[in-house]
């Protein structure tokens, strides 16, 4: 290996550039980089976007317009660790626009990419050495449809 960090490649039908710009508008420390276009004899229409490089919080991605053969599923997701409820609400609201809510703080965005919007306090509460407290928090999290609510998690922890 060359010593360079890994890059995550996301296969889109034909929305890679749109998705990269969308993610860059949501995450403060995000940027869109080089765009590669289809050349003569390449796959797809000449001049159309083939790949787009982008970065979110230091994580490198390549969006590939590979066609409809493959789609995203929940087997791969990206976790967003949030310091407070305002952050949970911000990311949840922006990423569910045109997407769909799921269980336990999971969602699919409008491109089908799965995300987990997780308050960092969840791990602290679920890891409480008192098994009854940890169990109540876990049950609250598992019973949640949609975004996680820190007040409800804390209330479950308190009993």
Tens digits of residue pLDDT in 24-77: 999 999 999 999 999 998 888 999 999 999 999 999 999 999 999 999 999 999
C-beta separation of 64 from 42 below 8 A = no
How many Å is the Cα radius of gyration of the chain?
A: 19
Residues 78, 49 share a domain: no
Domain enclosing residue 148, as ranges: 72-158
Among residues 109, 80, 113, 91, the alpha carbon closest in space to that of 12 is found at 113
Q: What letter would DSSP give residue 77? A: E
Q: Is 153 helix (H, G, I), strand (E, B) or coil?
A: helix
Mean pLDDT within 72-94: 97
Count how many domains the chain has. Answer: 2
For residues 51 and 90, membership in a common domain is answered with no
Same domain, 80 and 132: yes
Model's pTM, two decimal places? 0.93
Q: Are strands 114-119 and 77-82 parallel, antiparallel or unpaired?
A: parallel
How does DSSP classify residue 112?
A: S
- Over 80: is that where the pLDDT of 3 sits? no
Residues 34, 61, single domain; the answer is yes
């Amino acid at each position: 290996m060359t010593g360079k960090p890994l890059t995550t490649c996301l296969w889109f039908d034909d929305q890679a550039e749109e998705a990269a710009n969308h993610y860059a508008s949501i995450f403060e420390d995000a940027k869109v980089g080089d765009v590669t276009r289809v050349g003569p004899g390449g796959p797809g229409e000449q001049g159309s976007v083939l790949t787009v490089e982008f970065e979110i919080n230091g994580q490198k991605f390549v969006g590939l317009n590979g066609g409809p053969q493959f789609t995203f599923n929940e087997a791969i997701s990206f976790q967003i660790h949030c310091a407070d409820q305002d952050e949970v609400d911000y990311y949840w609201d922006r990423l569910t626009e045109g997407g769909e809510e799921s269980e336990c703080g999971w969602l699919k965005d409008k491109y089908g990419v799965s995300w987990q919007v997780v308050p960092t306090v969840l791990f602290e509460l679920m890891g409480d050495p008192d098994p009854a407290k940890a169990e109540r928090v876990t049950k609250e999290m598992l019973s949640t449809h949609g975004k996680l609510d820190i007040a409800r998690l804390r209330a479950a922890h308190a009993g």
